[in-house]
């Protein structure tokens, strides 16, 4: 069997493949064993760590249940306690069943023992009655619940540590094994690579040798050497290739010999042919006449003026078909050929010296046109020495002369163009400038006449002359040129405006379009004319028309230059117009600017006003959402509140909550930050307090009020998370004034402090609590202070805007100034006191705007007489309710057990109430019967007070007219009757904004009881 190339390659690669398979299998086996070992270790340890984490969470919950229980939330605490133990035990069992590390068994045993003690202690804790002090002792005492809690944490931590250490060891072992496997694999791979390289090299050497031999031969053959063969004989594919290659080279060698022989024969034949051609050319040249072929005209003439001989070029120059025709047609050169016969005489005179060159003359051709020629000639003399004939040659120089002429004109046109451009720089008025341009065109470029006409958009489409220069003599005045498509509009000017393209009349004499003007034009020597459109934004506003003294005066270059000039002219017109426009516009602009300035001033004022309105509106909203009206007419307490807004809305808020048992709750707070977000946050925070109150009241014993610290704690749990998430906080002061107990209960959460003025000693203290602001620590339990007070004492709650008001030097108003201000005003009512505080702070920071709102609430404890009895009634706004109102008053004052007023006094009070209710229904509610009227009555030792509250139109006492006591009017007695029947009438509003009518009826004799 012969080894083909393919088999040989395959055989070499087989051992390599086998080696790779072995290597791969070994590597996989190694990694798999390594991995499964680690996995087993990690799994066990991980279970332990997870169990310990869950156990830890359960432990935390158990602990927090004690805190909940201590905080008074018994039911929740118990549920949490029970459920947390279940989770705790379950995880402990998992750990007990999963002891894998040395030392873990001991740690678990310790944890189990601690757990049993902890549970025992916990159960005992809950065995105590709720709220018992023993609970607190059990929790906080050494070896108590808290202590055990810490010990369990440590034991749990040890177990986690053990397992984590083991996991770390396992990880370390795995890394080492992996490193060993890596080294081993690298070594094996290196060996394989060396083996593969060796096998490859062998294969390549065996395969490549014959290919290299063939390639070398082919290269030699391509450079012409056909004697090379390839000596390689083998039965494989390459052997066959070498054999075929040698055969091909042999065939090529045979073909090339044949081609070379044929080429040699052809070269011989070619040489012979070329020799023949050269011979014939020489022969032809011999017969060819220089004369016939000359480009210049060659002539021989007699002195008398006849042609002896001319060459065809001469004949053609003069427009004759052949030399013969010329010679037979011309007998007197001087008259027939020379435009000026005298010039022939000059020529002959010039030839007296024997020869002449560069003699220029104007010849007349057969068609009567003239050409310019230059003659170079000599006189041929006979033996006698007289002129036998002249011979020479003539060159047509007409084109040269025309070019020279054009050039001269062009130069002038250039001059005109540049002059025009320069004049534009100086120009300031359009007509004068155009006049100047026309003058320059005529004078500098040497035209006969020139004018500029503007296309008028009138009925006749006339062309109005705006500038003119040169020889006119009334030509334009009578020309009556239009740009309409009529006879007088078809001249160059009209045509060019209409078509917006240059129009030329090469010959005014022969141009039918110029018939209307021809006679006048020729009279003034106008031979040709050109009209160029003045294009402004593709619109022809007019034309520049030029007349020349010669026909065909306007060459291409000249037209190009003139077009350029017209372009510049149009540009100039535009520029001048723009300039004029700009001058006008500048004037307008100045006026506009002035107006704009005025508007800006007006707008600024408006904006200012709008801004003020906005601030005012913001402040109103703030007032509505954040600032409660201080309650009025509280027996024994006088309350006033005040806010001076800074330039920004803030989140300061205060609220009041009046309880039935003579307690007043005050909350005053400052939300971090400014603007709408702070205000919204303030509104939200404020709403949590009534909610917390409602919630706690629903579970409290009747007549019991929830403690301020519980209120703040509950409100805080509702909002703490949100505040922390919003990265905001609220400083707050929650105070409850208990008039009966003469004690202020205060929860201060990082607020500015509460100022307490003691009337008896005149001392002023600032009370600070120790709580963090709301939204700082989640789950904070708040402390509460108790401050006893006496009649005449003042409490002032204030925002840091008061103490942090700054003067122009940046100095703070500070607590000391506040204390002094309060002490100075110790005697005045709270309303006046807070105004004094405000005035002091504002005066202090007089030149600098307030950085923060000034917010303060003042509460003064005053003497009060508790009412002996109170009663309330709610009425519907119907006149039929009047009887109920009277019965209520009568029932209150003259019940079965008392007689607060005598019969006359009672009847008077009844009448006053009747009239007041009647007035409310008729006037305040406008007769609507679906509204409410609240009646309350209070009995004191010396008088009975009745208050009527309604939400209708407020009563305007000043608008009441006196009654007609002469019977002339049937109504209008109401107010008079009220005021005559009771001892005092007051109209006002309560803290909820309801209108109040207060009636007071005194007793003649004071009650003794």
Residues of this chain, 957-976, that bind another protein according to CB under 8 A: 963, 965-967, 969-974, 976
Instruction: Decide if residue 773 touches another protein (CB under 8 A).
Output: no
Query: Angle, to 10 degrees, between the axis of helix 556-626 and the axis of helix 430-445?
Result: 160
Among 488, 686, 838, 886, binds another protein (CB under 8 A): 886
Among 558, 853, 914, 998, binds another protein (CB under 8 A): 914
Instruction: Decide if residue 907 touches another protein (CB under 8 A).
Output: yes
- Rounded Cα gap, residues 147 and 913, in angstroms: 70
Whole-number minimum distance, CB 904 to another protein, in Å?
A: 7
Pair 693, 657: CB distance under 8 Å: yes
Pair 194, 176: CB distance under 8 Å: no
Instruction: Decide if residue 905 touches another protein (CB under 8 A).
Output: no
CA angle 8, 13, 15 (to 5 degrees): 115
Instruction: Decide if residue 386 touches another protein (CB under 8 A).
Output: no
Whole-number minimum distance, CB 906 to another protein, in Å?
A: 10
In terms of CB distance, is 620 or 883 closer to another protein? 883
Token output for 939:
């009995």
- Binding span for another protein by CB under 8 A among 474-482, 709-717, 882-890, 953-961: 882-890
Whole-number minimum distance, CB 907 to another protein, in Å?
A: 5
Per-residue contact string for residues 825-864; x = within reach of another protein by CB under 8 A: ----------------------------------------
In terms of CB distance, is 863 or 966 closer to another protein? 966
Residue 83, CA distances (Å) to 58, 60, 88, 114, 172 in order: 9, 12, 9, 19, 40
In terms of CB distance, is 51 or 997 closer to another protein? 997
- Binding span for another protein by CB under 8 A among 392-400, 445-453, 782-790, 912-920: 912-920
Whole-number minimum distance, CB 997 to another protein, in Å?
A: 16
- Rounded Cα gap, residues 628 and 125, in angstroms: 44
In terms of CB distance, is 282 or 1004 closer to another protein? 1004
- Binding span for another protein by CB under 8 A among 750-758, 851-859, 861-869, 905-913: 905-913
Whole-number minimum distance, CB 1007 to another protein, in Å?
A: 23
Residue 185 buriedness (CB in 10 A; 0-12 / 13-18 / 19+)? middle
Q: Name 542's Cβ contacts closer than 8 Å, sequence gap at least 6.
A: 452, 453, 454, 455, 463, 466, 497, 533, 534
In terms of CB distance, is 740 or 969 closer to another protein? 969
- Binding span for another protein by CB under 8 A among 464-472, 698-706, 799-807, 913-921: 913-921
Pair 737, 664: CB distance under 8 Å: yes
Nearest-CA neighbor of 506 among 453, 559, 550? 550
Instruction: Decide if residue 980 touches another protein (CB under 8 A).
Output: yes
> What phi, psi does 999 have (nearest 5°)?
-115, 135
Pair 794, 759: CB distance under 8 Å: yes
- Rounded Cα gap, residues 651 and 682, in angstroms: 5
Among 268, 367, 904, 930, binds another protein (CB under 8 A): 904
- Rounded Cα gap, residues 934 and 949, in angstroms: 5
Whole-number minimum distance, CB 871 to another protein, in Å?
A: 20
In terms of CB distance, is 261 or 971 closer to another protein? 971
Residue 854, CA distances (Å) to 456, 684, 824, 849, 939 in order: 79, 21, 19, 12, 40
Instruction: Decide if residue 880 touches another protein (CB under 8 A).
Output: yes
Whole-number minimum distance, CB 920 to another protein, in Å?
A: 11
Number of residues that bind another protein (CB under 8 A): 32
Whole-number minimum distance, CB 893 to another protein, in Å?
A: 15
Burial per residue of 491-515, b for 16 or more beta-carbon CB atoms within 10 angstroms, e otherwise? bbbbbbbbeeebbbbeebeebebbe
Instruction: Decide if residue 981 touches another protein (CB under 8 A).
Output: yes
Per-residue contact string for residues 302-341; x = within reach of another protein by CB under 8 A: ----------------------------------------
Length of the chain: 1009
Pair 858, 792: CB distance under 8 Å: no
In terms of CB distance, is 176 or 965 closer to another protein? 965
> What phi, psi does 413 have (nearest 5°)?
-60, -40
- Rounded Cα gap, residues 823 and 757, in angstroms: 7
- Rounded Cα gap, residues 488 and 495, in angstroms: 10
Residues of this chain, 915-934, that bind another protein according to CB under 8 A: 915, 918, 921-922
> What phi, psi does 795 have (nearest 5°)?
-110, 130
Whole-number minimum distance, CB 923 to another protein, in Å?
A: 12
In terms of CB distance, is 415 or 923 closer to another protein? 923
In terms of CB distance, is 84 or 981 closer to another protein? 981
In the sheet with 297-301, reading across from the earlier edge strand, the strands are 307-310, 297-301, 387-396, 370-381, 355-364
Q: Name 386's Cβ contacts closer than 8 Å, sequence gap at least 6.
A: none
Whole-number minimum distance, CB 940 to another protein, in Å?
A: 25
Whole-number minimum distance, CB 1001 to another protein, in Å?
A: 14
In terms of CB distance, is 417 or 975 closer to another protein? 975
Pair 459, 470: CB distance under 8 Å: no
* Site residues (vs another protein, CB under 8 A): 878-883, 886, 903-904, 907-908, 910-911, 914-915, 918, 921-922, 963, 965-967, 969-974, 976-977, 980-981
């Amino acid at each position: 069997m012969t080894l083909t190339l393919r088999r040989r390659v395959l055989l070499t690669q087989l051992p390599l493949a086998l080696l790779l398979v072995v290597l791969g299998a070994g590597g996989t086996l190694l990694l798999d064993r390594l991995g499964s070992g680690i996995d087993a270790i990690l799994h066990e340890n991980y279970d332990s760590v997870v169990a310990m984490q869950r156990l830890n969470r359960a432990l935390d919950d158990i602990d927090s249940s004690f805190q909940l229980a201590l905080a008074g939330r018994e039911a929740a605490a118990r549920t949490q306690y029970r459920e947390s133990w279940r989770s705790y035990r379950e995880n402990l069992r998992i750990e007990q069943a999963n002891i894998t590390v040395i030392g873990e068994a001991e740690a678990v045993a310790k944890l189990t023992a601690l757990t049993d003690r902890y549970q025992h202690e916990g159960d005992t804790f809950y065995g105590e009655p709720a709220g018992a002090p023993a609970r607190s002792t059990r929790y906080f005492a050494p070896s108590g619940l808290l202590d055990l809690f810490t010990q369990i944490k440590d034991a749990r931590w040890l177990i986690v540590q053990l397992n984590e250490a083991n996991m770390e060891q396992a990880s370390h072992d795995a890394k080492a094994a992996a490193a060993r496997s890596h080294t081993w694999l690298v070594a094996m791979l290196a060996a394989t690579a060396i083996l593969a390289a060796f096998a490859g090299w062998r294969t390549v050497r065996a395969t490549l040798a014959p290919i290299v031999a063939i390639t070398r031969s082919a290269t030699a053959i391509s450079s012409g050497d056909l004697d090379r063969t390839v000596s390689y004989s083998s039965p494989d594919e390459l052997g066959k290739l070498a054999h075929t290659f040698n055969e091909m080279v042999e065939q090529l060698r045979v073909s090339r010999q044949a081609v070379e022989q044929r080429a040699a024969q052809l070269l011989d034949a070619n040489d012979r042919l070329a020799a023949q051609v050269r011979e014939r050319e020489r022969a032809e040249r011999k017969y060819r006449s220089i004369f016939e072929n000359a480009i210049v005209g060659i002539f021989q003439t007699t002195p008398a003026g006849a042609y002896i001989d001319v060459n065809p070029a001469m004949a053609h120059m003069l427009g004759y078909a052949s030399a013969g025709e010329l010679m037979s047609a011309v007998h007197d050169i001087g008259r027939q050929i020379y435009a000026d016969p005298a010039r022939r005489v000059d020529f002959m005179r010039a030839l007296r010296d024997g020869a002449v060159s560069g003699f220029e003359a104007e010849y007349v051709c057969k068609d009567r046109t003239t050409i310019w020629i230059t003659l170079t000639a000599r006189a041929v003399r006979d033996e006698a020495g007289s002129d036998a004939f002249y011979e020479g040659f003539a060159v047509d120089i007409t084109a040269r002369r025309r070019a020279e002429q054009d050039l001269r004109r062009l130069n002038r046109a250039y001059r005109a163009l540049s002059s025009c451009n320069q004049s534009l720089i100086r120009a300031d008025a359009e007509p004068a400038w155009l006049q100047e341009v026309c003058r320059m065109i005529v004078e500098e470029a040497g035209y006969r006449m020139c004018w500029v006409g503007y296309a008028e958009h009138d009925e006749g489409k006339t062309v109005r002359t705006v500038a003119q220069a040169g020889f006119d003599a009334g030509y334009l005045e009578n020309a009556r040129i239009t740009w309409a498509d009529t006879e007088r509009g078809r001249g160059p000017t009209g045509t060019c405006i209409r078509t917006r393209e240059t129009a030329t009349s090469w010959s005014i004499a022969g141009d039918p379009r110029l018939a209307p003007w021809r006679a006048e034009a020729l009279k003034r020597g106008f031979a040709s004319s050109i009209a160029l459109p003045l294009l402004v934004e593709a619109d022809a506003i007019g034309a520049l028309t030029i007349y020349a003294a010669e026909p065909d005066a306007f060459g291409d270059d000249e037209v190009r230059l003139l077009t350029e000039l017209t372009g510049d002219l149009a540009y100039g017109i535009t520029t001048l117009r723009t300039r004029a426009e700009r001058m006008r516009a500048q004037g307008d602009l100045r006026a506009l600017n002035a107006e704009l300035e005025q508007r800006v001033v007006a707008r600024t004022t408006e904006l200012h006003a709008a801004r003020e309105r906005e601030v005012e509106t913001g402040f109103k909203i703030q007032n509505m959402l954040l600032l409660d009206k201080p309650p009025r007419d509280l027996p024994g307490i006088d309350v006033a509140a005040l806010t001076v807004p800074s330039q920004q809305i803030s989140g300061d808020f205060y609220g009041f909550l009046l309880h039935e048992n003579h307690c007043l709750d005050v909350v005053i707070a400052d939300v971090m930050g400014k603007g709408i977000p702070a205000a919204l946050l303030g509104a939200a925070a404020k709403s949590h307090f009534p909610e917390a109150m409602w919630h706690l009241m629903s579970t409290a014993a009747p007549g019991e009020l929830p403690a301020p610290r519980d209120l703040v704690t509950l409100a805080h749990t509702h909002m703490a998370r949100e505040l922390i998430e919003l990265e905001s906080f609220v400083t707050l002061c929650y105070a409850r004034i208990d008039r009966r107990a003469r004690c202020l209960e205060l929860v201060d959460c990082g607020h500015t402090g509460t100022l307490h003025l003691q009337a008896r000693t005149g001392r002023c203290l600032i009370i600070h609590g120790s709580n963090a602001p709301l939204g700082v620590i989640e789950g904070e339990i708040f402390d509460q202070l108790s401050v006893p007070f006496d009649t005449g004492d003042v409490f002032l709650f204030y925002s840091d805007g008061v103490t942090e008001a700054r003067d122009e030097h940046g100095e703070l108003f500070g607590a000391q100034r506040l204390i002094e201000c309060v002490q100075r005003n110790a005697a005045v009512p709270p309303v006046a006191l807070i105004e004094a505080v405000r005035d002091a702070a504002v005066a202090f920071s007089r030149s600098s705007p307030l950085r923060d709102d000034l917010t303060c609430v003042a509460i003064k404890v005053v003497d009060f007489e508790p009412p002996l009895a109170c009663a309330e009634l709610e009425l519907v706004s119907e006149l039929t309710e009047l009887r109920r109102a009277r019965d209520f008053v009568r029932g209150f004052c003259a019940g079965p057990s008392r007689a607060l007023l005598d019969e006359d006094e009672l009847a008077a009070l009844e009448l006053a109430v009747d009239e007041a209710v009647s007035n409310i229904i008729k006037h305040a509610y406008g007769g609507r019967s679906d509204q409410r009227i609240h009646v309350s009555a209070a009995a004191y030792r010396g008088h009975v007070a009745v208050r009527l509250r309604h939400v209708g139109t407020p009563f305007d006492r000043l608008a009441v007219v006196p009654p007609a006591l002469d019977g002339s009017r049937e109504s209008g007695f109401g107010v008079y009757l009220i005021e005559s029947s009771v001892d005092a009438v007051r109209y006002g509003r309560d803290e909820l904004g309801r209108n109040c009518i207060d009636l007071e009826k005194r007793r003649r004799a004071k009650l003794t009881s």
